Amino acid sequence: MRKALALIVALWASPSVAQQPAPPGLYPIEVPFQLFCADSLEFMIDLLAKDWKEAPVMLSHQTDNSTIIFFTNLERTTSTLVMSRMDKVEGETACIVFTGQSGEGFSFSINPSPDFPEGNKL
């Protein structure tokens, strides 16, 4: 449990998320929820492939030691969001943050031409 809490705190405390003060219109909400975690991302990938027939389709490397991974099945009817973090002391932790079902083909889609705003960079 300590590893899971450390993972969430570390990922959410990154500079891109933990802006001080919060931008106008955003406010904090405390949400108690349970995470399902494994001691390796490899184990998590194997589990999602075996049990839910899901594969990783998108990665977002947040830092040298933390990654957000999005999984979906071939039909794109299920999806799972996993956060993974490598700690020098605690080792690796990979946690399911969200999982769900949707209509066929709707669990994962890519915007073919995103309209990125101009101006300030992170």
Q: Are 69 and 82 in contact (CB under 8 A)?
A: yes
Task: Write down the pLDDT at residue 50.
Answer: 98
Residue 21 lies in a domain: no
Residue 121 lies in a domain: no
How far is 81 from 56, CA to CA, in rounded Å? 9
DSSP H or E segment with residue 98: strand 91-101
For the cut 60, the answer to whether the pLDDT of residue 17 exceeds it is no
Residue 117 lies in a domain: no
Residue 23 lies in a domain: no
- pLDDT-derived band at 122 (thresholds 50, 70, 90) equals low
Residue 100 lies in a domain: yes
Number of compact structural domains in the chain: 1
Cα dihedral 55→58→63→65 (10° resolution): 10
Task: Write down the pLDDT at residue 92.
Answer: 93
Residue 116 lies in a domain: no
Domain range for 40: 1-9+36-107
Q: What is the DSSP letter of 17?
A: T
Alpha helices in the chain (DSSP H): 2-12, 41-52
Residue 57 lies in a domain: yes
The 10s digit of each residue's pLDDT in 36-50 is: 999 999 999 999 999
pTM of the model as a whole? 0.74
Percent of the chain exceeding pLDDT 70 equals 82
